[in-house]
Amino acid sequence: MKAYTRITDCRKKPSKKEKLNCKRESLRETKYQWLKRLAYGPNKKHAELTNIWLSIFAVNARSLINPHWILDQINALENWQFSNYENLLYSQIVNPGLLQYLNAFRNKKNNPNENLGRELLELYTLGEGNFSELDVKNTSRALTGLILDKDNIVKINPKFHDNSEKLILGKKNKFELRSLIKWLSNQSYTAENITKRFCNYLFGEEVKSEEFNEIIINFKNNNLSLPFLYKSLANHKKYINSQKLGLRLLDPLSLVAKSISLIGSDHINNFEIGTKIMAKMGQPLLEPPNPKGFTYGEGWITSSTILNRKKVLTTLLADEEIWDTRNTPKLLTKDLVPFEPININLPAEPTRENIAQLFIDPAWNFEKPINLIF
């Protein structure tokens, strides 16, 4: 991620037209960088893990003044995804992209905005039904006064911050940002909610918390250690069975990145076409519909999207510049898919026709859960 483009601050452009052009270019570049990273790396394994956390802390890049803030968010996730959840969460609550997306900069002592407070409780910590409206109100008060300086650093302006005591989940405190995150992270429901949300994306299906009770308890007792969570899940029977069967239905981003990776072309058309076809599959890149993020698993299968899954991947192969710059494997082997394909017998030569047959095969749409052994 450090090799990614420097953050361009479109707020500093002198005219409205220049700001819009800056935002458009920033969005295009941000999408290109992230899709390329997932397709080719470096360190695709870490990028796939980051992609799960990016789904949990969903931000719509198109809604941002500076879409490059998503790259800053990705950097923070990569830096903290092997720490504990409290640190990871804090890195997101001071991310300008997430804060702007949730209107947090409008949350002032005398003019409260509860968007960030509500999502912090519902999505990033305790989960729906495990807090009261009073908790939302007081959490939002604790988050007042967040501002962004000229260097894109999030700070608290004492003038707009409510410094009085607040009662949150039974505890009375003045709650500055770090103590608030610590208190919310320490709640038992947080370990449960985060484990469940992580597993939904990991397995590509709606999981039940009861399946992971022991892991949830130990995750909480181990200070929400994320390496502990990954290792525990990797040893769970559901993960082991899922690895054997490979029945995780891929979301469009993972499917397109996998397809681009197989073709092996570094041509810009690969990523521009990849971005367009993702939108046709129902997942405009880095543009989730709401803070809950994109769906997973069978949620991607509708009458329109399943048709596009069959058609649009082959447009990558139809582009002459992509095909002329390809770097395909010497042979299409059986390990490219989790189960026997219908349309093609593997191994096979990596011809245009054979790759097209592989792309439209049901088996190409499935994969094992990401590798959690680090």
| Number of Cβ within a 10 Å radius of residue 103 | 12
Residue-number span of the structural domain to which 352 is assigned: 250-367
Q: pLDDT tens digit string along 227-245?
A: 999 999 999 999 999 999 9
CA distances from 250 to 85, 221, 267, 297, 338 (A): 26, 33, 24, 7, 12
The pLDDT confidence band at residue 311, using thresholds 50, 70 and 90, is confident
Residues 99 and 240 in one domain: no
Residue 372 lies in a domain: no
Residues 34 and 167 in one domain: yes
Q: pLDDT tens digit string along 175-234?
A: 999 999 999 999 999 999 999 999 999 999 999 999 999 999 999 999 999 999 999 999
Q: pLDDT tens digit string along 255-299?
A: 999 999 999 999 999 999 999 999 999 999 999 999 999 999 999
Last residue within a domain, chosen from 170, 185, 200:
185
The pLDDT confidence band at residue 14, using thresholds 50, 70 and 90, is very high
Residues 22 and 171 in one domain: yes
- In the chain, which ranges are continuous DSSP H helix? 16-40, 44-56, 69-80, 85-93, 96-101, 115-122, 133-142, 177-185, 188-203, 213-221, 226-234, 237-245, 252-263, 268-280, 303-311, 314-318, 320-324, 352-359
Residues 234 and 258 in one domain: no
And the tokens for 338? Answer: 């989790």
How is residue 210 annotated by DSSP?
G
Residues 180 and 282 in one domain: no
Residues 161 and 197 in one domain: no
Residue 373 lies in a domain: no
Give the per-residue pLDDT at 7.
Answer: 67
Last residue within a domain, chosen from 185, 207, 232:
185
- β-bridge pairing 146-148 and 154-156: antiparallel
Residues 289 and 176 in one domain: no
Picking from 79-93, 120-134, 227-241, 303-317, which range would have the lowest pLDDT averaged per residue? 303-317
CB 338 within 8 A of CB 245: yes
CB 370 within 8 A of CB 48: yes
Q: pLDDT tens digit string along 121-157?
A: 999 999 999 999 999 999 999 999 999 998 889 999 9
Polymer length in residues for the chain: 374
Angle between the N-to-C axes of helices 69-80 and 85-93, in degrees from 0 to 180, rounded to the nearest 10: 170
Nearest residue to 230 via CA among 194, 205, 255, 182: 194
Residues 202 and 181 in one domain: no
Residues 254 and 159 in one domain: no
- pLDDT over 70 for what percent of the chain? 98
Q: pLDDT tens digit string along 147-183?
A: 999 888 999 999 999 999 999 999 999 999 999 999 9
Q: Mean of the pLDDT values across residues 31-52?
A: 96
Number of domains in the chain: 3
Q: Mean of the pLDDT values across residues 323-347?
A: 97
Residue 1 lies in a domain: no
Last residue within a domain, chosen from 155, 185, 215:
185
